[in-house]
Amino acid sequence: MDASIRKRVIYLAKLAVEHFNVGDWQALGAYTGQLDLISNHDRLLRSLSFGDADYSGHAHAVIFRIVEFDRDNLQIIEDYIAENYGVGGVSISTAPTHQAPITFAPSVFEIPKGQTEADLVAVMSPFSAPFEMVFQSIQSAATATGLRCLRAKDIWEHSSVIQDVFSLIYKAQIVVCDFTGKNPNVFYEAGIAHTLGKHVVPITQNSSDIPFDLQHHRYLSYLNNSEGRASLENELQRRFGALK
């Protein structure tokens, strides 16, 4: 269990200590396939009922065991707390940081199952023919550095396109955003990526297309011809290598 998962588990255990009653523990046990663990625990429900000082420690230990049994149970716990108590959410910052994590419980998106995939590069660009060869260059740069590259248009897991977009950004380690043409969808997707703490690599054919709020970030400028795309591929290889 990596550090980010442990932080999420500890956070959820604290919420459980604050809010749960006996029925909540039993319901959570049923949802996660760990009802026997809850019912047969020699101290958890007893210490809750009597207000014993060791309740918090038992609650933390049980939440950890539930998640260790099946990593998908982490999402079940988060959903249960959010739905029943209107608190919780998921720790969303995936970038290395010493700051406190941000939590959220989004109403527009569903939180995807699974964690960040260290070899995944997500590409956010306009959906039009002139960008197909640009994507091929990005894909080649990713492959050369041992990474794989996907666009939302290459997957269809949900009926809503924006859910596929969010899921792809959520799972990616690196997000390439092509701001050429000031595409509003790309602006929106870049905002999601920054909020999720992803490594965002801005690229553009025209520096004036970079939004004012992002002009202080470094970006890669390229020409959409064979020489320009080759240069972009080389620059991306170096950038991807540094971010791996």
C-beta separation of 173 from 198 below 8 A: yes
pLDDT digits (tens, 9 = 90+) for 144-177: 999 999 998 877 766 678 889 999 999 999 999 9
In this structure, the answer to whether residues 166 and 135 fall within a common structural domain is: yes
Largest CA distance in the chain: 73
At 93, is the pLDDT very low, low, confident or very high (cuts 50, 70, 90)? very low
pLDDT band for position 105 (50/70/90)?
Answer: low
Is there a single domain that holds both residue 179 and residue 202?
Answer: yes
In a domain, 110, yes or no: no
Do 70 and 133 share a structural domain?
no
Q: Give a yes or no: residue 33 inside a domain.
A: yes
Task: Give the number of residues written for the chain.
Answer: 244
Domain that holds residue 72: 3-104
DSSP state of 112: P
Answer with the one of 104, 129, 149 that is the final residue of a domain: 104
pLDDT of residue 172: 95
Number of CB atoms found within 10 A of residue 42's CB: 8
The total domain count for the chain is 2
Answer yes or no: do 125 and 237 share one domain: yes
| Residue 148 placed within a domain | yes
pLDDT tens, residue by residue, 20-79? 999 999 999 999 999 999 999 989 999 999 989 999 999 999 999 999 999 899 989 988
- CATH number of the domain where residue 231 is located: 3.40.50.1220
What is the average pLDDT across 165-191?
Answer: 95
Which of 79 and 241 is assigned the larger pLDDT? Answer: 241
Whether the predicted pLDDT of 94 surpasses 50: no
The DSSP symbol for 101 reads P
* Residue 109, in any domain of the structure: no
Q: Which residues pair with 204 in a beta bridge?
A: 221
% of the chain residues with pLDDT over 90: 61
Q: Quick one: pLDDT at residue 88?
A: 53
Chosen domain end from 104, 137, 165: 104
pTM: 0.61
